[in-house]
Structure 1
């Protein structure tokens, strides 16, 4: 067990009872460490900067500063934690909007506890975490967009192409840095440039575009 990686997690939800329940669930798992919680999106950015968590569970429907507002603020602050939306909404527009602004997953609150734990572990390995019933909604929405996207792989440098392919493989910035033997900060710069050149807002969108266009 000495090689076990313990992941720090922050929970952002405006329902205190739900936060407490999630914390109790996570504390049962030896590889999860819930380090902070809050019910306010604006405070979430401060907590993320303070604790530098590996993963953030973020409620979508919060009063005032919404989950999407919080997601945008976290990414604008260069928080590179895995961010999973945790919500009751299975509306296509909510799912697509979340991934558009940089979410790494989208989980429904009616999932079984063991499913939540499984999806969190999946997200922490660099994979996308999504409630199974939402997979088709996301795939069809992004597939439609990718067919009209004018992005050109030739706009990328050879290093940026390497980074894009590793993004498509579900690798986190930390894993990409290790694989390419460069710093995590350099990876962040490459990812930003890749998304900017392809006119995309999220890693998921870029990954789907790469697969849909059969670029190898």
Structure 2
């Protein structure tokens, strides 16, 4: 069985090595490389053959958020878990918008670290309790004007129709499955297409809806559409 390749970026050597030792005890993961700075990792990004990165958010010179932004400009598929000792609202929201796949507080118990790594590799976005509450608050704030209006305006409906009409049928189907929480492999299996084709559809959806992460795609669906039956309008293109 091939192990999942992991790298760690953290400027605190003792913590970094401690996490690496925990991960190396698992038969499912293998730590390929440890980095003491974000710039050191970015210089090796194009040749780093890894599937998962643990990234410290508070580092000198280049923060984890800055590193994550650079990563997403070059690699949208690499799964990134943010290591944090501080749960500042701005950090959590910025990381989510940039496509972070999870958060790992630095006081997480060793047995829970591996559990969260497994969940992220299964396609889930792992948030701590405070992060979930914060995200829920943001969604409520964004949807409050719509809820207060009770009904969508004709302009909103026309905009939704326009955005959906610009999607191919396969993109609409992919969006629907993303909103249901499926990862790329499960979407590919459901639609009978390759993982690579799903990635193309996801990139196209991110561009057309002007968002930066799968989580934001899912939020868009739940905000804008009737998610009870996912009332997507038929597209003229296939």
Q: TM-score range by the shorter chain?
A: 0.7 to 0.9
In structure 2, how many angstroms separate the alpha carbons of the residues matched to 1:200 and 1:146?
17
In structure 1, how many angstroms separate the alpha carbons of the residues matched to 2:66 and 2:75?
14
Q: Which runs of 5+ in 2 are unaligned?
A: 147-155, 231-238
In structure 2, how many angstroms separate the alpha carbons of the residues matched to 1:13 and 1:146?
37
Please state if 1:42 is matched with 2:53: no
Distance 1:176 1:5, change over 3 A: farther
Q: Match for 2:210 among 194, 199, 206?
A: 199
Deviates more, 1:149-158 or 1:103-112: 149-158
Q: CA deviation at 1:180?
A: 3.0
- Tell me if the contact between 1:11 and 1:56 (Cα under 8 Å) persists in the aligned partners: yes
Distance 1:76 1:112, change over 3 A: same
In structure 1, how many angstroms separate the alpha carbons of the residues matched to 2:17 and 2:144?
43
Q: Match for 1:211 among 222, 228, 233?
A: 222
In structure 2, how many angstroms separate the alpha carbons of the residues matched to 1:44 and 1:146?
38
- Tell me if the contact between 1:45 and 1:77 (Cα under 8 Å) persists in the aligned partners: no
The residue number in structure 1 matching 2:87 is: 90
Distance 1:74 1:138, change over 3 A: same
Spell out, residue by residue over 1:133-172, the C-alpha distance to the aligned partner (whole angstroms, 9 max, x if none). 3211122213423556967362422211222223233333
Structure 1 vs Structure 2 CA RMSD: 2.2
Three-state SS of the structure 2 residue aligned to 1:35 is strand
Q: CA deviation at 1:37?
A: 1.4
Distance 1:29 1:145, change over 3 A: same
TM-score for both structures, normalised by structure 1: 0.87
Spell out, residue by residue over 1:69-118, the C-alpha distance to the aligned partner (whole angstroms, 9 max, x if none). 11111111124121111111211111111000111112211111112211
Three-state SS of the structure 2 residue aligned to 1:106 is strand
Please state if 1:157 is matched with 2:168: yes
Distance 1:130 1:166, change over 3 A: same
Distance 1:91 1:18, change over 3 A: same
The residue number in structure 2 matching 1:108 is: 105
- Tell me if the contact between 1:128 and 1:170 (Cα under 8 Å) persists in the aligned partners: no
Q: Which runs of 5+ in 1 are unaligned?
A: none
TM-score for both structures, normalised by structure 2: 0.80
Distance 1:6 1:175, change over 3 A: farther
Q: Match for 1:23 among 16, 20, 24?
A: 20
Three-state SS of the structure 1 residue aligned to 2:46 is helix
Larger CA Rg, structure 1 vs 2: 2
